[in-house]
A and B are shown apart, each in its own frame.
Chain A
Amino acid sequence: MESLQAVSAIPEEPAAPPAGGDERALWPRVAAGDRLAAERLIEASYRRIYAALFKLCGGDADLAADLTQETYRKAWAAVDRFRGGCRFSTWVYQIAYRTFLNHLRRPRRLQPLSDQQLERRPDPEAGAEERLSGSQQAGRLRRAVLDLPEELRFAVTARFWAELPVREIARQQQVSAVAVRKRLRRAYALLGAALEESMDR
């Protein structure tokens, strides 16, 4: 009990840029079949989704765009299931995340999960050594994130790469905000350990 309260005393993460209000106003119109509103809803949410997928994909812009499209297709196909319990973009992010995981299970040209390929991958803009090591670091971090246990991975990617507020993630996952924070803290610890390890190697 004490430990739970202790966790809840952690200061709240700074809020993500507001997009929720807009979406919330649009949703009833979309539900009523307003195509224009649906397009507005896309406009309001797709940058966030694309950006998250871009980071998940490790910087493959084409792939991120393709997956974004696939995500929205799935979303429209399943839009009946959206209950409005969370923001539209939060819901879509979950679809995007699953789409990405599905994609990972398929073979692909890029293998961003493996060390060697990361290092071999040519980085056209990386002229200076500094930048090269920067991209290597980003690759390590991404790999560490993808290696997290499922719950933590979703929380971390949703929080930082999709920039969703903790509260939204909590609603979406149907847990308390405290639980999400707890997951994030566990994730930081695991990520720290994973990064140390990869530095040592």
Chain B
Amino acid sequence: MKHDAREIRRRLRAEVAPPPPPELLERLKADVPGDLGGERPAAEEPAPAGRRPWRLRLAASLFLVVAGGLVAYRVLERVPAPAAREDGKAVAPGEALTTPDSAQDTDPTRKPERVEGPRLGQGLQWAPESEQKQKLGKDQESERGQQREAGPPGESALRSEAAARENEAARTTQKAYSYSRAAPAPPTTPAEGGEDQRVELRDAPVPRAKKVPIPDPTPGAALESSPEHWEAPGQVQPAPAERRRERLHRLGEGRAALQRRRDPEGAPEAVRVDPSYRPLPLPKPLPPGPPLPGQPPSTGGTAEPNDQPYGDMFFRSYGVNPFIDVEDDPLSTFGLEVDTGSYTVARSYLERGHLPPPEAVRVEEFLNFFDYGDPPPAEGDFAIRAEGAPTPFGEGERYYLLRFGLRGRQVAAADRRPAVLTFVVDVSGSMDREDRLELVKRALGLLLDQLGPEDRIGLVVYGTRGQVLLEPTGDRWAVRRAIERLTPGGSTNAEEGLVLGYRLARDHYRRGAVNRLILCSDGVANVGRTGAGSILDRVATEASAGIELTAVGFGMGNYNDVLLEQLADRGDGRYAYVDTLAEARRVFVEDLTGTLETIAADAKAQVEFDPQAVSRYRLLGYENRDVADERFRDDTVDAGEIGAGHQVTALYEVKLNDGVRRNDRLATLRLRYRSTAAGEVLETARELRFGDLAPTWERATPALRLASLVAELAELLRGSYWAREGSLDDVFHRAQRLVPEFPGNADVAELASLAGKAARLRAAAGSE
């Protein structure tokens, strides 16, 4: 069969779609927001586009080029060369032409534009016509023609002539670029796209920010542009914006620039970054751009990785902590977290034969999934273990891996406080897929089995509307029956569900008990009429009033990891992702006291490195848990909540100085939290000395080796720059060797098999 254009067209047209399902229209109408109105520019008449105007433009510019050439020739003939130069300097418009050029050399804000100009490539179609021409290489002649457009013929002839002379020797694309910018926009410039481009170019400098401190999180505002499902405004912009974002990404400065756009006045030296910000997912992974010539890309850090020039991977993974010189900043501060959702999400991807998207991988959640066998504290709330060993790769280079393992005090199931739990269950249509709702029912069934006579359960569901199904009751059979009757359908009004849930929980608030909402959802988009910001605010308010939120994610496909993670974060609770009944058992049965009983609130850690001993360090993970160093002792900062028996692991990669001795202190870990047992804020510390480290990697504890493998797997899956030399195969083999050292821990064997799957998937992806 032949496949010529006609045949292809015929076959493309031959595809038929059935009429949409009848209820779809209702669903769509229900989604129309209430506040449609508002001052919005009325529709502009579409700009006439098409063949004729395009041709006209072509003809006009051809004419101008020719006319410009002619006039310039005449003037050249008449005016002797040296005089022309003097004239050029004297004439004011001539000044206007040359100044921007020299100004560019001094004005730092313009710098990136020059760097970026040649790389733009894609932007070409939108660039004003004049710029296009220049790029197309019709340099001198068309440039003159274009300058002709800018002013009366005689004057501009002088100008172009003067300009030509002054720059004859060093005429480069970049300069030509700046000229066209200096001249007023030619009348044919497509107004919107062209203007956008320019503003953007100016707005995207590459600041060499040092350590990136944390701002006051502006609730809500940040979210709007961050996670996949709430990014609609950015996502649906017409093409130029899309492109702009891609470009920002490529510069590795997406965060900074986005933040600046949001907050144009605050343009501080060090760029402030919202902690909740996560890289925007793009439809396709960007091809790694070449390093910018002559300008080191901003890494947010001060040290070059491994003393090597920056590799290509770096741009893709800007959301990764950089190496930081201890001299510059000896303090590393972050909020603790015990979420494990990211690991289970990634596992679910891999089990289904897909590599997880890099944004879904959070190293700290991978680390915290595993049990490193750290003993619980004999007394107090936490046991802290600190250890380290030379990294297996940096032999002889004084690179070490340090591990801080925190373990929370355990609470026996019998000693657990009574709980008032309000289940908020998503029964929208999307929960019908893949038996998500069935999994929820069975998971909640498991939880019910664990509850005692003192505990109370309420049930709220939401689909198109929220509904209270059951006031909190101790009658477990009533709860069970209510859960069994849940059926999916309708759209997703999570906001109303949460509002009702919180109202119910407040009405039945019991002092001295665990008061908690358990949200079971796939997190899919719609949140009523007001957007994610207001939901998150409300969750934070309720949390400070003593009602915590545990977010349990179900389902795949259009699952919204980001929203659930943030809900749990703001709601002082935990985020877990349940993909199988086994995982449900882990969350609701084995770890129930940990899930319900919080032993420490707003827990923050600060590691102080000793500049005498450590030259630089890098924290693996915790990127979105960053806390400003000076706010470590600010107890109003919302940080992590730790449940009973939970453990937190932080890994640092450090480079030690020469001549470090046994007794030299490397680092001090400080832990600050509000103890629920003591009812006050406590602070503990633990020192790590060089003598505490293992002399070789082989003699490192199994816990440290496991942690390093877990972190490496996560780093590889998220395409971290720092792991660019590692391989999934290698992780797979090393994990396999580690399995016998953790008898009875199925998680390690699972880790090995996941690494193997990931290695095969990546190999398959690479060979395509």
Chain A residues within 8 Å of B, Cβ to Cβ = 8, 24, 27-28, 30-35, 38-39, 42-43, 46-47, 50-52, 54-55, 61-62, 64-66, 68-70, 72-81, 83-86, 91, 94-95, 98, 101-103, 105-109, 111, 137-138, 141-142, 145, 150, 156, 159-161, 167, 170-179, 185, 188-189, 191-193, 195-196, 199
Tally of A-B Cβ pairs under 8 angstroms:
221
* B278 CB to nearest A CB, Å: 15
A32 touches B37 (CB 8 A): yes
Residues on B with C-beta less than 8 A from A195 are 3, 8
A102 touches B5 (CB 8 A): no
Residues on B with C-beta less than 8 A from A64 are 17, 20
Residues on A with C-beta less than 8 A from B531 are 77
Known contacts A51-B17, A84-B44, A141-B12: A66-B558 contact under CB 8 Å? yes
A101 touches B283 (CB 8 A): yes
Extra A-B contacts (12), CB below 8 Å, given A83-B238, A159-B12, A172-B238: A33-B38, A42-B28, A52-B17, A54-B18, A81-B238, A98-B236, A98-B283, A106-B357, A107-B348, A107-B349, A107-B352, A141-B11
A47 touches B43 (CB 8 A): no
The distance in angstroms between the C-alpha atoms of A142 and B15, with both chains bound, is: 10
- Chain B residues 225 to 244 lying within 8 A of chain A, measured CB to CB, are 228, 232-233, 235-241
**Chain A's interface: helix, strand, loop or mixed, by majority?**
helix
Known contacts A78-B235, A103-B558: A188-B9 contact under CB 8 Å? yes
The distance in angstroms between the C-alpha atoms of A61 and B16, with both chains bound, is: 12
Quick check: is B103 within 8 A (CB to CB) of the other chain? no
A149 to B, closest residue via Cβ: B284
Known contacts A172-B238, A177-B49, A188-B5: A66-B232 contact under CB 8 Å? no
Residues on A with C-beta less than 8 A from B187 are none
* B704 CB to nearest A CB, Å: 32
A33 touches B37 (CB 8 A): yes
Partner of B54 from the list A106, A138, A176 (CB cut-off 8 Å) is A176
Quick check: is B525 within 8 A (CB to CB) of the other chain? yes
Proximity string of chain B (256-293) to chain A, C-beta cutoff 8 Å, 1 when within and 0 when not: 00000000000000000000000001011000000000
* B180 CB to nearest A CB, Å: 19
Known contacts A78-B233, A177-B50, A199-B1: A106-B17 contact under CB 8 Å? no
Quick check: is B489 within 8 A (CB to CB) of the other chain? no
A173 to B, closest residue via Cβ: B239
The distance in angstroms between the C-alpha atoms of A5 and B1, with both chains bound, is: 31
Quick check: is B125 within 8 A (CB to CB) of the other chain? yes
B235 to A, closest residue via Cβ: A98
A47 touches B32 (CB 8 A): no
Quick check: is B46 within 8 A (CB to CB) of the other chain? yes
A–B pairs, 27, beta carbons within 8 Å: A31-B42, A35-B34, A38-B32, A52-B17, A55-B17, A61-B18, A69-B28, A77-B531, A78-B235, A78-B236, A79-B40, A85-B44, A85-B47, A85-B192, A101-B284, A103-B557, A103-B558, A106-B557, A141-B11, A159-B12, A160-B13, A174-B190, A174-B193, A176-B49, A176-B50, A188-B9, A199-B1
Partner of A191 from the list B3, B36, B233 (CB cut-off 8 Å) is B3
